A and B are shown apart, each in its own frame.
Chain A
Amino acid sequence: MEQRGLSKWLPWISAPVLLVLLVVVWSLVVSVFGISEFVLPPPSAVAASLGELLVDPETWGHVQVTVSEVLTGFVIALVLGVLGGWVLGRVAWLEVAMRPALVAFQVVPKVALIPIFVIWFGFGLTSKVIMAAILAFFPILLNVLLGVRSVDPGHRDVMRGLGASRWSTFRNLELPSTLPYVFAGMEVAIVFSVIGAIVGEYLGGNEGLGFLVVSSLNALDAPALFAVIVLLAAVGSVLFFAVNLAKRLVIPWHESVSEKEFA
């Protein structure tokens, strides 16, 4: 009981403390060693730059672009990953047949494909959406595949013993049993989607937070560069916690959702 209470409030204290610590050490390092602002701007400069960034309506346009790329790619990956994972999980010979292709595709550094997508789809949203989708696809596919395979044989006996139809077995057993794996895949996938979109934006186009990073770099504006990265981290966190929240709402019964979430 003690332990559970501790783990409940501790992160709420430790997170701000760690943040403050980071800022203090950062400022000290900059002032004590006299580091050039081009290398490591002091936190105050980054904060000022972030302030300017946040009041600039153009920034929010870039945020919107990046978020829509991420979400579109993520949703495509989710649909294809769940379908693919389900089929491969159910049809053993197909999974065996596809394994070499899956492994080959997995070991390819997929961000290296972006130039190809730029050639094919241009500098617009499409190439970034595809990149986000490809990066997010594999964690979802592999988790769903694992989930479909991991249905408890004892639970299957219960359903068979009750003479359950295929649909009832899906609805009451296979679906709920696989959902935790789907969400585990989604939590990884949303982070990968952000990476895909940002790297896509680095390489081409003139919108999105990735573009903002590159343009700050070209302007040699280190505080702005750091500020955009902070903003990116914030956007990534919001997206991750949205997925996490969905998990808590959809599978409140699962061990990965802590006790305190129960009403």
Chain B
Amino acid sequence: MTDHLLEQAAPASAVTHLELELAGVDKVYSSRRGSTEALRGIDLSVASGEFVALVGRSGCGKTTLLRILAGLLPPTAGEVRAGGRPVWRGTRRDEETVSRFGLVFQDANLFPWFSIEDNVALPLKLRGTDRATRRARAHELCDLVGLGGFEKSLPRELSGGMRQRAAIARALSCDPSVLLMDEPFGALDALTRDRMNMELQSIAASTGATVVFVTHSIPEAVFLADRVVLLSPRPGRIHSVVDVDLARPRELEIDVEPGFRETVRSLRGALDEED
């Protein structure tokens, strides 16, 4: 009964906005060979509609942090909240909260047996949306991410960049309040990556979703984010947080502007400090 009341109450606060909060999050991986401390004392707040980039060297725990946020990996200690509700209750996650997230991984992870349309509409299918609505929504989203006309194609018939677009469309299909992206463009060539960054910027602006974006590219982080969070490794901690004061919408040519270069330089400096 209380659950029911909670569900009734949720939509009021849930319109499309959702802020994220991590407090004292630790993660320790234990195996037979001993334990590895992946994250220590992560405190971070992400405002509703904010675009935050997590940057750091490989092995600094940025993917672990994102997986904890996404409800894929329970934290060892600490609180993770979305819109004031805990994402994790011990090692059980709150399905209601997690259902408002859209996830994009480094690999597109499309199901090869489904057409692009069925892949994009998979989240809707799992929610029991009828076929006609699913098809219409998939069509709309394919247009949005520049895949119009490829609805009936199979994933293997598409290029890497197109597959990643489809993965983004899939993440958007349930109108998520939060987009969690783990190096989504890491496997793409530089030109495609630039284009995807432009498109992601406009998608983020038009949906008003809160975005947490993991990358190892400092320029990419500065281009996309309102704030860049630098993580340092072993164990993963927040090294510094840098605000990016650049007007939006940003053009690719922004990389020659002094403000952009200064931010990139200071982040590089901070990253080098660790060694």
The interface of chain A, by Cβ under 8 A from chain B, is 152, 154-155, 157-158, 160-165, 168, 172-173, 176-177, 251, 253-255
- Report the separation of the CA atoms of residues A177 and B112 in the bound assembly, to the nearest whole angstrom: 9
- Report the separation of the CA atoms of residues A168 and B107 in the bound assembly, to the nearest whole angstrom: 22
B123 and A157 within 8 A (CB): no
Knowing A154-B105, A157-B72, A161-B72 are in contact, say whether A176-B98 is a contact too (CB < 8 A). no
Knowing A164-B126, A172-B111 are in contact, say whether A157-B95 is a contact too (CB < 8 A). no
Tell me which of A172, A177, A251, A255 contacts B125 (CB under 8 A). Answer: A172
A74 to chain B, nearest CB (A): 25
For A163, the chain B residues whose CB sits under 8 A away are 95, 98-99, 126
B109 and A155 within 8 A (CB): yes
Q: Of all chain B residues, which has the CB nearest A251?
A: B113
For B123, the chain A residues whose CB sits under 8 A away are 162
Tell me which of B99, B101, B107 contacts A154 (CB under 8 A). Answer: B107
B71 and A172 within 8 A (CB): no
Residue B103 at the A interface, CB < 8 A?
yes
Which residues 43-85 of B sit at the A interface, judged by CB distance below 8 A? Answer: 70-72
Most buried by A among B99, B105, B112: B112
- Report the separation of the CA atoms of residues A226 and B99 in the bound assembly, to the nearest whole angstrom: 66
B111 and A162 within 8 A (CB): no
Residue B120 at the A interface, CB < 8 A?
no
- Report the separation of the CA atoms of residues A165 and B125 in the bound assembly, to the nearest whole angstrom: 12
Knowing A176-B113, A251-B113 are in contact, say whether A161-B107 is a contact too (CB < 8 A). no
B169 to chain A, nearest CB (A): 13
Residue B122 at the A interface, CB < 8 A?
yes
Tell me which of A152, A161, A164, A253 contacts B103 (CB under 8 A). Answer: A161
Q: Can you list 19 contacts pairing A with B, beta carbon distance less than 8 Å?
A: A155-B109, A155-B111, A157-B72, A157-B105, A157-B109, A158-B103, A158-B122, A160-B72, A161-B101, A162-B99, A162-B123, A162-B126, A172-B126, A176-B113, A251-B113, A253-B112, A253-B113, A253-B156, A254-B113
Interface size class of B (residues with CB under 8 A): 20 to 34
Tell me which of B107, B113, B122, B154 contacts A162 (CB under 8 A). Answer: B122
Q: Of all chain A residues, which has the CB nearest B108?
A: A154
A163 to chain B, nearest CB (A): 5
- Report the separation of the CA atoms of residues A127 and B95 in the bound assembly, to the nearest whole angstrom: 54
A172 and B156 within 8 A (CB): no
Encoded as 1 (CB less than 8 Å from any A CB) or 0, chain B from 101 to 134 comes to 1010101010111100000001101100000000
B72 and A255 within 8 A (CB): no
For B109, the chain A residues whose CB sits under 8 A away are 152, 154-155, 157-158
For A173, the chain B residues whose CB sits under 8 A away are 111
A161 and B112 within 8 A (CB): no
Q: Of all chain A residues, which has the CB nearest B119?
A: A158
A94 to chain B, nearest CB (A): 22
A179 to chain B, nearest CB (A): 8
B117 to chain A, nearest CB (A): 13
- Report the separation of the CA atoms of residues A161 and B95 in the bound assembly, to the nearest whole angstrom: 9
Encoded as 1 (CB less than 8 Å from any A CB) or 0, chain B from 150 to 187 comes to 00001010000000000000100000000000000000
A-B contacts besides A158-B103, A251-B113, 14 pairs, CB < 8 Å? A154-B105, A155-B111, A158-B105, A160-B71, A160-B72, A161-B70, A161-B98, A162-B123, A172-B126, A173-B111, A176-B113, A253-B156, A254-B112, A255-B156
For B111, the chain A residues whose CB sits under 8 A away are 155, 158, 172-173, 176-177
For B70, the chain A residues whose CB sits under 8 A away are 161
For B122, the chain A residues whose CB sits under 8 A away are 158, 162, 172
- Report the separation of the CA atoms of residues A162 and B93 in the bound assembly, to the nearest whole angstrom: 12
A59 to chain B, nearest CB (A): 42
Q: Of all chain A residues, which has the CB nearest B106?
A: A154
Q: Of all chain A residues, which has the CB nearest B99?
A: A163
For A253, the chain B residues whose CB sits under 8 A away are 112-114, 154, 156
Most buried by B among A158, A168, A251, A253: A158
- Report the separation of the CA atoms of residues A162 and B101 in the bound assembly, to the nearest whole angstrom: 8
- Report the separation of the CA atoms of residues A176 and B115 in the bound assembly, to the nearest whole angstrom: 13
Most buried by A among B105, B107, B123, B126: B126
- Report the separation of the CA atoms of residues A151 and B123 in the bound assembly, to the nearest whole angstrom: 19
- Report the separation of the CA atoms of residues A163 and B97 in the bound assembly, to the nearest whole angstrom: 10
For A158, the chain B residues whose CB sits under 8 A away are 103, 105, 109, 111, 122, 170
- Report the separation of the CA atoms of residues A173 and B154 in the bound assembly, to the nearest whole angstrom: 16
A35 to chain B, nearest CB (A): 52
B112 to chain A, nearest CB (A): 6
B157 to chain A, nearest CB (A): 9
For A254, the chain B residues whose CB sits under 8 A away are 112-113
For A164, the chain B residues whose CB sits under 8 A away are 126
For B99, the chain A residues whose CB sits under 8 A away are 162-163
Q: Of all chain B residues, which has the CB nearest A164?
A: B126
